[in-house]
A and B are shown apart, each in its own frame.
Chain A
Amino acid sequence: MTTSVSLEARDVHLAFGPNRVLRGVDLTVRRGATACVIGPSGSGKSTLLRTLNRLIEPDRGDVLLDGRSVLGDDPDALRQRIGMVFQQFNLFPHMTVLRNVTLALRRLRKLGEDEADALARAQLELVGLAGKANSRPAQLSGGQQQRVAIARALALKPEVMLFDEATSALDPELVKGVLAVMADLSAAGMTMVVVTHEMGFARRVADTVAFMDRGVVLEAGPPEAIFERAEHPRLRRFLAQVL
C-alpha cells in the first residue's frame, strides 16, 4: 500500500489563447487532507485540476507532490500517482466494469490476470459493487458508474485523488452514495482535491475550502472560516447564491 502525499500548486498560470484561465493559483493540501474547491462556473476549477496532474501543462508556476516539483517528471508516470474522477465518469463503454478497473493494472502495472482481477474485485467490493464486475457501464446507474470510476482510480493506489464535480451529473437520490465513498476515502487519509457544488459535503469533509474566482484562489481556509466568516465580498455573494 502506498502513502498519500502533500500537494501544492504555486502561482499556476494558464491561458487558452487570449483567455487567461488561471492567473496565479496557489493551493496547499497537507498530506492526508481534503481540499474542496468551490467557485462560479468558468472560474477555472476544472482547468486547475487538469494542471495538477498535467493533463494540461501550466504556462508558469509549479506543482509539488511531497514538496518536490513534478513538472520535470514523466507526465504518464505522474498521472499514475494521481487518481482523477470526472463529472461524466469517463468509463470505457466497450469493456466490462472489471476490465475498466484491470486495464491499467495489467497494462501499466504489468500485473498478471489473476492478480489484477483479484485486486479489482476487492476494490469494487469497497465501493459496494462487487456484484457488477461483469456488467457493462451502460447497464449501471450513474451513481454506480461513478463508484466504478472511483474504484478504477483507487486500484492504482494513488497518492492523491482529484474529483471534478463527481456528483454533478447524478440524479439527486444517487448523490449520497458517491459522496459517502468520497467521505470515507477522506477519513481514511487520502489527500484529495475536490471540486464540488455540494456545500454540505465541503462543510463536513473538507479541511480546507478554497474559493476560486476568475482564475485565482481568492480566499482559502477551514470550512467554518469560509462559510461563517467569509471576508471577500465576491465569496459572500457566491455563498448567498448557492446556500
Chain B
Amino acid sequence: MDPLSTLWETFFDVDAMREALPEMLTVGLPNTLILAVSAALLGSVLGLLLAVAGISRSRWLRWPARVYTDVFRGLPAAATILLIGVGLAPLGMQVWGPDPYPLGILALSLIAAAYIGEIFRSGIQSVEAAQLEGARALGFSWSDAMRLVIIPQGVRRVLPAWVNQLIALIKDSSLVYFLGLVASQRELFRIGQDYAATTGNESALLLAGLFYLALTVPLTHVVNWIDGRLRHGRPATAPADEDEDDTDPALAGAPEGDRR
C-alpha cells in the first residue's frame, strides 16, 4: 500500500467510523451534553455570584471572589479536574459512592465559574451609573435595582462571550476522562480514543472530533447572531405603534393639591 492511502485509512476508515458511531450517538454524545450542560448551568450560577461579590462594596466579598478567580483561571484545567476529581474522591465516596461523574461536573463548573464570573462582572460594570440612579429614584433598594435593572442589562451585553465559554466547556468536558469513567459514562472523546487504541486507527477519534465540531460550530454562529442583534438592535417585534406627534399632550389627573 502506498503511504498516501495508508494515511487515508488511518483517519478516514469508514468502517471503523461506522463501528464507533452507535456508541458515540447513544453513549458519548449524551454524556458530553450532560457534562457540558450541567457544568454550564452550575458554572453560570456560581459565576453570577462571583460577579456580584466582585463588585460588592464589602471587601470581605470582593477579596475571596478575586482570589477564587485568579486561582481557577490560572490553573490548567486538567490539573484542576484531577485535583478535585481525585482529591475529593474520598469525600464523594461517602456522599454518593464511587461515581467520578459528579466531581467531574463540579470541577468543570468551578473552572467555568471563574471565567463566566469575569464575563458577567465586566458586563454589569459596563451598565451606566444613571441606570442605577434611575431605579433608586423610583424607590428600589440597591439589591432590587441590581437584580431587576442592572444585572439583566449587564448579562445581556456579554452573552456572546458567555456562549464562547460554553464552547470551551464542551471541549473541556473531554478532560473528565482522567477520572476513570466506567463504560456507560464515557463521553465522545473517550469513546473515540478507546476505539482508536484497540484498532490502531484514528478514524474513530476523528469521528469524535466531528461530533465536537457539530456542537461547537453552530454555537459560534449563535455568538455572531447575538452579537449582530446587540449591535443593530432587535428587529421591531411590536407591530408599529400608531404615530403620535410630539407636542401638546394633554395631562389631566395630577394629584389633588392646592389649585393656584
Contact = CB atoms under 8 A, between A and B. Distances in A.
A28 interface: no
A185 B254 contact: yes
B139 A139 contact: no
Contacts of B141: 76
A191 B258 CA distance: 9
Given A126-B251, A131-B244, A144-B246, A156 B258 contact: no
A104 to B, nearest CB: 4
Given A32-B259, A79-B139, A104-B140, A128 B134 contact: no
A76 B139 contact: yes
A126 B252 CA distance: 6
Contacts of A108: 138-140
Given A30-B258, A33-B258, A189-B255, 20 more contacts: A1-B253, A4-B257, A31-B258, A53-B137, A55-B133, A84-B137, A88-B130, A89-B134, A92-B134, A104-B140, A127-B249, A133-B241, A134-B239, A136-B234, A139-B236, A152-B138, A177-B248, A180-B249, A189-B254, A190-B255
Given A32-B259, A139-B236, A152-B138, A131 B241 contact: yes
A33 to B, nearest CB: 7
A3 B140 contact: no
A32 B153 CA distance: 37
Interface stretch (B144-152, B186-194, B220-228): B144-152
Nearest to A49: B137
Contact of B130 (A78, A90, A159): A90
Contacts of A159: 255
A218 to B, nearest CB: 25
Given A90-B131, A128-B244, A181 B251 contact: yes
B22 interface: no
B214 interface: no
B247 interface: yes
Nearest to B238: A134
A45 B149 CA distance: 26
B125 to A, nearest CB: 16
Interface in A87-117: 88-94, 96, 103-104, 107-108
Interface size class of B (residues with CB under 8 A): 35 or more
B260 A184 contact: no
* Centre residue among B138, B149, B239, B247 by max chain A CB count within 10 A: B138
Contacts of A207: 260
B249 A126 contact: yes
A32 B260 contact: yes
Top-6 shortest CB links A-B: A128-B249, A90-B134, A189-B257, A188-B254, A32-B257, A80-B139
A30 B260 CA distance: 11
A77 interface: yes
* Centre residue among B135, B137, B148, B152 by max chain A CB count within 10 A: B137
B48 to A, nearest CB: 17
B156 interface: yes
16 contacts: A4-B255, A30-B258, A55-B133, A76-B141, A79-B137, A79-B139, A90-B137, A92-B149, A92-B153, A96-B238, A128-B244, A132-B241, A187-B260, A188-B253, A189-B254, A189-B259
Interface in A52-95: 53, 55, 76-80, 83-84, 86, 88-94
Contacts of B148: 103, 107
B250 A126 contact: yes
Contacts of B66: none
Interface in A1-25: 1-4
A129 B241 CA distance: 10
A141 B249 CA distance: 14
